[in-house]
Amino acid sequence: MADEVLYPEENAVLMAPLSGYTDLPYRHSLRRHQCRYAFTEMVDAAALLYARDRTFGMLRRGADESFLGVQLVGADANQLAEATKILNDFDFSVLDFNLGCPVPKVAKKGAGAALGREIDKAIRCFTAIRENSRFPVTAKIRILSETEEAPTLELAEKLQNAGAEALTVHGRIQKAYYSGTVFSQVIRSTKEHLHIPVIANGGVLSVADYDRLRSESGCSRVMIARGAMGNPWIFSAIVERENYHSPSFRQWKQEVLLHLSEMTTYFGEEPAMRMARKIMHDYMKGRGFPGVVRSGASTMTTLRELDRLLEELERNQPEHFRDPSLA
């Protein structure tokens, strides 16, 4: 049943929840390029309880979003239970529990990937969410060992037994962060060990990476994270295959303007442009623009400055406009 309710497509490609990125304007950009399954930014349970006004904006669902997941992070079962009750007042397709985030500001609180290594506590926290959620509840984990499958299988099986309706597995341990080998065999063993859907995650920056992870993990469902940062076209490339056409500079520029202009409507011009600096760098990365021109994104404060940067990029566009999806 979970298979049918959550991810009915055998080849479903999911966008990961990313803090500071997957807000509504960001998701609209992804949706324009055939991303169906997306999540809000990761939401901290404590922030949801004690900074509601600031956090509630992260939970807004667009009228055109047929599927939207939300992801909670935290390490206090009581806080997670209360945060889940708040989320029940919103409209989501699924509630995911983060047991995989490796960044220090999360791990030092004992949450994310750090909590994933404390299996019994992780299950207590997951259970607190599931018992209070009106939505299907899933989890996202990292592998716990590169050399032994047993720890990851133990965590995965206990999450399944606690009621997880699907499980996303990132194929790197916590200390590897987002680089190095993706141990897809551990993901494959996890999939073979469980009867709920398992989604493979880690290292997908191109169509070739997607094909490799899908083949090696045996998972028909894959989650993308960094590969979609500045490159929403990766979803179209995966879906369309030989019918896919790389964006021209004009099409790339149009998407940038649509995305960042919507950010100014959503957040206000100056806050949006500060937030957009990193996003603009992502859009330019790997496409062949000269570094001296790209540096202009680091100081943007207005849409007019964005326009000037795009004009400069147009004057300095590379002879071969690269497509990271096909790298």
Domain boundary among 224, 243, 262: 243
Tokens of residue 270, six digits:
């100056």
Domain boundary among 198, 215, 243: 243
Tokens of residue 167, six digits:
């499980």
CB 100 within 8 A of CB 122: no
DSSP-assigned letter for residue 137: E
- Summarised one tens digit per residue, pLDDT across range 214-224 is 999 999 999 99
Q: How far is CA 177 from CA 36, 143, 174, 181, 202, in A?
A: 26, 12, 6, 11, 10
Residues 137 and 262 in one domain: no
Residues 16 and 148 in one domain: yes
Phi, psi of 73 (to 5 degrees): -130, 145
Query: The CATH number of the domain where 180 resides is what?
Result: 3.20.20.70
- Torsion angle defined by CA atoms of residues 82, 84, 87 and 92, in that order, rounded to the nearest 10 degrees: 180
327 band by pLDDT with thresholds 50, 70 and 90:
confident
Report which secondary-structure segment, H or E, holds 212: helix 207-217
Residues 72 and 185 in one domain: yes
CB 166 within 8 A of CB 7: yes
- Summarised one tens digit per residue, pLDDT across range 300-317 is 999 999 999 999 999 988
Residues 158 and 92 in one domain: yes
Q: At a CB cut-off of 8 Å and minimum separation 6, what does 220 contact?
A: 10, 11, 12, 214
pTM of the model: 0.94
- Summarised one tens digit per residue, pLDDT across range 3-30 is 345 676 778 999 999 999 999 999 999 9
